[in-house]
Structures are given as C-alpha cells and as structure tokens.
Structure 1
Amino acid sequence: MDTLCSRMLLILCLAPLMSLAAPPAPTHRFTLDNGLNVLVREDHRAPVATSQLWFRVGSADEAPGQSGLSHALEHMLYKGSSKTCAGEASAILQTLGARENAFASKDATAYYQTLAPQYLGVAFELMADLMSTAHLHGEDLTTELAVIREERRTRTDDNAHDLAIERFTAVAHLASTYRTPILGWMHDLHRLNVDDLRGWYETHYSPGNATLVVVGDVQPDQVKQLAQRYFGRLAARSIAPARRPTELAQPGERRLTLHLPVPTPQIIMAFNVPALATAKNRRSVHALRLIDVLLGGANSARLVKRLQFAEQLFSNAHTSYDAFTRGDSLLLLTAELASSHADDLDAAEARVWQLIEELQASPPSPAELERARTHLIARQIYRQDSIVEQAHQLATLETIGLPWQLMEQDPDELARVTPADIQQAASVFLTRKRLTVAHVLKEAAHE
C-alpha cells in the first residue's frame, strides 16, 4: 500500500511538470572517419543553433608541476592560426552576431558558439582550424600567463571562500587527480612554458579525443555535410584512453583547520562517493542526488529548514553533488555560522551529524522524498528550454563515457528510487571513513 501511495503521489506531483516537457527531441549520432564524434539534436523552436566542441582533457589529466595546462591552452587557442590572426576568430563570430565562449573543467575543455544556423559552417571552419593549426607562440604565452595569474589572484587567492574550497578539495581527493585546481597552482603558473603547451595541444586536441555537439534549428544531414567538409579533413591520430580519477573505497577521516579572512567561521564537509560513470549500481547515485536535495539543495531541505531558518545556527547552508563526472565525486556540504553561534563550531558539526544519522536510521517519508524528486526533475525539465544547456548535457555525457540517452531516461531513473534506497545510500556513503572536514576560522587581525 505504501508503495502504491508513493507512486500515486509522484504522479500527482510530476503531472504539471511533465505536461510542460516536450517530447524527446530527435537526436542523431555519427562518427567521422578520423574519430570525431558528432551529436545533433533538432530543436526548431527558434531560428538559432549552438555548436560546442569538447575535448576529453582537463585539470584531472595534468601531471604534478604542470597544473593549469588545460586552462592556459584554452586561453591561447585564439592567439592565431593558419587562417586567423590573434583575436580574429572571435571578431568574425561576433560580427555574425554569435555568442561565443570557452571553458576548462576538471574533465574537459570546451569551445562553443551560439548563432544563426546559416553561419554554422563559419563556426566549424574556425574551430577546425584552431584545433589543428594554432600558433602557440612563446611571447603570447608569457603575456597570457600574467593574465591567468591575475585571474587566479582575483578568483581564488583573494576570495576566502573559494580559497578554502580549493585547499579543502586538495585534501578531500586523497587518491584522485581531481585535487588539481583548474586554474593551476600559482607556482606552476610561473613555470609553464610553450613546449609544455604544444605537447598538451598535440597530444589531446585530436579528432578522436573530441565531441562536436550541435543543438538547434538544424537538419542532421546539413550538420553531417558541414562536419565532414571542415572537420573530416583533419588527420586521425592515436590517443590514450581518458583515465577515470578514482578514490580509495574508505580513505579515512581527514581534518584540516584554515585561518582566512571570513566574516564568521565556516564548516566544510564532504564524503567521497561514486558518480554515474564509476558506480557499480546507478540507483545508488540517483539516491545520492536526492540526498543532496533532501539535506541542503532546496529551501525545504533539512539543513536549511532546521539549522538555518528554525534554529538559526547557520546564516547560510547548502549541499552540492555532481554525479556527471568522469571519476569519483564528492557530496559537499558548506555552512557559515551565524554570528550568534560563531564560537560553536564543534557543536554545529555535531548537529549536522545528527541530521545525517537521522537519514541513516530512518528513511524519509514518501512525501518528503517526492518533494525532493519533483525539485530535481523540475530543474532538469527547465534546463531543456535552453539549447545551450541541452548541448552541455549531451556533451558532458559523451565526454565522461556515458550514452547520451541517459539524459532522457533521467526522470524514470529518479522515479525508481525508494525511501529505502535513500536510507541505504546514506548508511553506505555518508560515513566517517569517507569524510573530510574543514573548520574555517576567522583570521586574526595581526595575521
């Protein structure tokens, strides 16, 4: 009876959302002879298309002493090639009314353009050229590294919260290369050289290590013809398979204390957990995604509702969990103590543990679980309104080695998670043997 009631409640909760969701868009996949994977999703709601070129390389692939290589190469790619001068590729795209940008992450480096479909061939021609004939001059790297060092100072070194997360992450990932910061350690940014950069480019920017995703007002045959014309001529090169950053099953409890210029003390906690690409049982990962929402991922979450709003122990509290990574992930909790409880770090940590232990001792009620599930599915449905977000999700799955169809199967997978699954996942994964804790204390004035 409980299971039947739970399913009926889920149907009632999700019915308004599912009525908003369009039928799955036609999605096509093909591979060029040189190994380039191409995904095309038709979305004819507006006369626009987004093109995203992803490479399976990020900071997790960087060796000690070479951190920041992927991000530095992303900066350098527009400094000139066989067809363009420095900055000309961006100028051409902007002249066509395109929105374009690039980013590096722990798993990937990506370049994307959103523009009118008739200019898709221009974007393809520019990106095929940049990924194969970029100049990468030493004098440009010297200048750009100065820019990147300033970016690091602004975004990390002078930002107490982000600096704390970076230090914490380096400890939480005991055996995993996810400890390497995307921007790179500052001392590495003083010694990267153009030979490092060229080696990285030649090793990783090959067609077989890339995925091209196009979403928007396009026809698959049109995209295939353009892809073959501009990317098909690039030579195939052998590539090493992307390694999955994996963590020890039980790395043991780790603790650190940081003294930083924060307004009030903070607690950071994380548990080493699998992601979809590394889990033996994917349902456990979907349970962890729902635990993220149940604990701190929504205004009705336990940490937020009880410890922030009701008890006013924290001025801010939230959790996060990225299940769509190439390797093992973290379920992360961050909380800033209210000024009236600034001296109660140990008590605050104990109170957080009480909430975790409640989840281990008793499954959530069907109603609480459905609220969390509805929140998560709604978030996924609303992301489909953006062709850029659709392309990002497709490219992420492809890049981490999972089938793109998981994006469409996600609501059904989440619907199968039961309260008992939540309790089991909390008992298995939210343990002290997987825990890292940081106490971030307010830096003394004389320091």
Structure 2
Amino acid sequence: MNARSWMVAALALCLGGLTLPVAAETPPVHEYQLDNGMTVLVREDHRAPVAVSMVWYAVGSSYEQRPVTGISHVVEHMMFKGTESRETGEFSRLIAERGGRQNAFTGRDYTGYHQQLAVEHLPLAFELEADRMQNLVFDADEYEREMEVVREERRQRVEDNPTAKFIERFRATAWSASPYGQPVIGWMEDLDRLRLAEVEDWYQRWHGPESATLVVVGAVDPDEVHELAREHFGEVPARDRPEPVPASDIPDPGERSVTVRIPAELPFLALGWRVPTLGSIDLDDEEERGDVYALALLRAVLSGGRAAILPERLEREQGVAVGAGASYSSMSRLQDLFMLSGRPAPDVELDELEAALRDEVRRLKEEPLEEERLERARRQYVADELFSQDSMRAQAMRLGALQSTGIGWEAGERFLEGVQAVTAEDIQRVAQRYLVDDQLTVGRLIPRGQDQADNSGEEE
C-alpha cells in the first residue's frame, strides 16, 4: 500500500465513525541513535524517486534571553555561509545543480534545514549538513551583510505589518516570564547590539549532533539511510548541551490587557488564555493528555470551517465580525495560548465584538455541545490533519517538530486517536478549567487617531 493509499484508507476509517488508530495504517517510523547522540528518523514513501532530508536542532527563540533575542534566527542565516572547505554559496549551488531545493526555518523551539532532491543525491545532502554542523566559518564581513538582511526582514514582517506588530506586543503582555513572550526574529534593539562572537558561541553550544535530529522521508531503505547517516554524521564530535533557560511562566493570576495604537487600516481584537500543550504536560498522565486533545478539538469546534461556531454566529448570524477564528498549537514545547481573534464589522465597536466572543465562551461552559456539531468538527479536524500530511515534506516537518520539542514522534502518531475519543463533556470541562479570566489576556489594536478617549495601556 503506497502512502496516498494508506492516507485515503485511514481517512475513510476515521470519517466512517470508527476509532481505529490512524497510526496503524501509516508506514512505520524507523528510529536510530548515533553514538554521538544524534537521532535519525526515517519513513518510507515510494510515490516518487525523491526524498526529503531535514536536520533539526532543538534550539529556537524560546531558548534565548534578553539581550540576545533573535540569535537562533541569525545562526540560521549564517549556516548558509562558508565552511572551512566550502565558500559562501557553494552549498546552495551544489543542491541546485542536481535539481534539488533547500531552505531553512527558525521557530520558538527548533531550527531546521531541509533539502528535497532525487534519492541518489541524498549522500550529498548529508555531506553538506555534516560539514556545516562542525566547520562553519564566522567571517565578520559576511556577518555584517547578513545582519542587514535580518533587520530588513524584521522591518518587512513586523514593523510594516500592523497586525504582526500588534500580536508581538500581545504575546509579550500575555507572558510574564515565558520565552514565548519574545519574537522569534528578536527585538530590533537586541539585533542592533548583537555581536559576532555571541553568534559563534550560540552555534558552538547548540548546533552539535547531541541537539540534532535527522529526518528522512522518501523512496529510501531505512537501514541504508542509517548507515549513510553513520558515515557522514557519526564522526562529528558531541558537545556538552547546556540546560535551557527556565521555561515556565511566573504564576500571575488576573486578567491582563494591552491596547496598541499604531497606524493601521482596521482594528483587531485578540483574547488569549494560557493553556497546556503536549510539551508542557506529563505524557503518561491520561487526564492531562485528554485535556490537550479536547483543546485541539475545541479549536476546530470554534473555527474549523464555515460551519464552525465563530463564523456561523459572529459573522453570519450576528454580523459583528468580518472575520473571527480560534488558534491553538497543541504540539508546542511550553504552555501556549488558546486564542480567539477577529476584526469587527463596519460600525461595530471592539467592545461589542469582545462581548460576543466572551458570550460564546460562556455558552461552552454552561451548555454541553450538540453531538452533531461535535461530530462535524471531529470529522473536519481529522480530514484536515490527514490531508495536511499528504506530502513528504509535511510528514518530515511533523516528525522533526515533535522530536525537537521533546514530545517525541510517537505522541503524534497517537494524536488523532485521542482526538476521536473527545466527548462533549470533555469540551465543556476544558472550557471551564482553562478559559477563565485569571489566565486571560485581552489585546486591542486601534488604528492611530481613532478612539483617543481612553489611552490606558497605550503602546506606541
């Protein structure tokens, strides 16, 4: 059975009302451990004679402390510079000459580097990644040029994007001490003072094999990939991985709020509650896992398609929003935010939209969810999850993210089974337990020049 076939078969089982574990229908994940601590995960997918290769480092912005925010992202940029044996640009040129594609990304909990290329070129990808894992050169001129690129990236993505700038301030307010309150790209003040020596030290501390996971998905033999990994990565010396910064937020009960007044075309509202994730709980605790599954499905109940609660009631029935939705990342390393957000309809005040959102939360706590609505959300959630994993790259992304956050790829294999078991009572329970004012942050984006009567909490 090929990868597309198992996905369709699993989808049919789930949407047919059965609760068979989806993981039983998927090609297995083969896990290996190199002597230097590097983890290797391999999944076969023979739809095409290609492979996706990813090297993940378990370090991201949540490992940082001021005044060095953004440093993980800066290292990502520097990893495309030269090594002791290769000039800047040679990595990209060698992959492109063989018809491959390559890129990288930085998140809160990890940094990843990936290539998609014909299977016969997999040894080259391993060779290049092993080279920059241990032999990166930190040239001062290259660093200064790259820092200009990073600053411009921040200006375009954040400074010139009112919603992104608002969400950055909102998250900083929601967390007293959790590193999830700082932006992945870093604060501009920190980027301006960051020094090359600090960046090189960050690379040396966090980018060794003991912090790395190699993920390969494609038309490969798992044991052959293991041997190839041993050949190229096995001799890279392990380093002493430091302890991450304290990760938990300081208990600070009480609702928080922030009002951001900046140039913008439209107002925006966000409500965020601090809630558990798979990475922040005891995975052996069935009740805690059940809460995360229920929160994940609650997000779909509220925002999973046009038939979900928020689009149906706030947009079409009440007409108080031109867009309203929910978001929640269940597979984060630390506690995260369960968020409701939206833009008010013309001539609707932010207070009216906030009241409507709070009313939906109140209803979730007081009234058990209709079984028909719950089942529709469950089916939509399962379908979205399965189809999102249809590509080799998406499969590799999921495996690498789960492993790098410390959750472990096995928890992801069990996730859909857990979601399928969520009941209306579970939804009501987590709404009552977690969507409470003591864990709430309210954020309002008000276009500068509007509603100047109340300047409390103003952010310039």
Equivalent pair of 1:141/1:193 in contact (CA under 8 Å): no
Question: Could you say if the C-alpha distance between residues 370 and 42 of structure 1 is closer, same or farther in structure 2, counting changes exceeding 3 Å?
Answer: same
| Distance across 1 between alignment mates of 2:430 and 2:252 | 15
Q: Deviation at 1:303? A: 1.3
Q: Deviations along 1:8-43, whole A, 9 cap, x unmatched? A: xx9784469999999210211011000000001111
Q: How does 1:7-406 map to 2 (within 5 A)?
A: 13-14=15-16, 23-242=25-244, 245-248=247-250, 251-280=253-282, 281-341=288-348, 344-406=349-411
Out of 399, 411, 414, the position equivalent to 1:409 is 414
* Aligned equivalents of 2:382, 2:195: Cα separation in 1: 45
Task: Provide the secondary structure at the position in 2 that maps to 1:268.
Answer: strand
Q: Please say if residues 266 and 336 of structure 1, whose CA atoms lie closer than 8 Å, have aligned partners that are also in contact.
A: yes
Structure 1: distance between partners of 2:376 and 2:245: 37
The answer as to whether partners of 1:14 and 1:374 remain within 8 angstroms in 2 is no
Amino acid at match of 1:315: V
1:379 partner letter: D
Moved more, 306-315 or 153-162: 306-315
Q: Which secondary structure does the structure 1 equivalent of 2:234 belong to?
A: coil
Partner of 2:435: 430
Paired AA for residue 157 in structure 2: R
CA distance, structure 2, for counterparts of residue 407 and residue 74 of structure 1: 26
What is the identity, as a one-letter code, of the residue corresponding to 1:68? G
Q: Distance in 2 between the 1:418 and 1:326 partners?
A: 25
TM-score (norm 1): 0.93
The root-mean-square deviation of aligned C-alpha atoms, in Å, is 2.1
- SS at 1:283's partner residue? helix
Contact 2:36 2:238 in 1 (8 A): yes
1:383 deviates by 2.2
Task: Confirm or deny: 8 A CA contact 2:54 2:114 kept in the other structure.
Answer: yes
Report deviation, 1:335: 0.6
Q: Distance in 1 between matches of 2:113 and 2:31?
A: 19
**Conserved? CA contact 1:17–1:378, under 8 Å:** no
CA distance in structure 2 between the aligned counterparts of 1:275 and 1:20, rounded to whole angstroms: 21
Post-superposition Cα deviations, 1:405-435, rounded to whole Å, max 9, x if no partner, equal: 2222222111111110000000000000000
Residue of structure 1 equivalent to 2:3: none
Structure 1 243/23 Cα, relative in aligned 2: closer, same or farther at 3 Å? farther
Looking at structure 2, the residues matched to 100 and 253 of structure 1 have their Cα atoms a distance apart, in angstroms, of 44
Identify unmatched segments of 5+ residues in structure 2. Answer: 1-11, 283-287, 453-459
Change (3 A) 1:61 1:12: closer
Q: What is the rounded CA distance, in whole Å, between the counterparts of 2:355 and 2:399 in structure 1?
A: 40
CA contact (8 A) 1:136 1:194 kept: yes
Distance 2:123 2:432 in 1: 52
User: For the structure 1 residues 37 and 406, does the alpha-carbon distance in structure 2 shift closer, same or farther, using more than 3 Å as the test?
Assistant: same
Q: Indicate if the aligned counterparts of 2:42 and 2:225 stay in contact, CA closer than 8 A.
A: yes
Give aligned pairs, total. Answer: 436
Structure 1 counterpart of 2:424: 419
Distance 1:249 1:179 in 2: 14
In structure 1, stretches of 5+ residues that fail to align are 1-9
Indicate the residue corresponding to 2:6 in structure 1: none
Counterparts of 2:399 and 2:15, CA distance in 1: 27
Structure 1 CA distance, aligned partners of 2:204 and 2:35?
19
Displacement of 1:87 in angstroms is 1.1
Change (3 A) 1:66 1:240: same
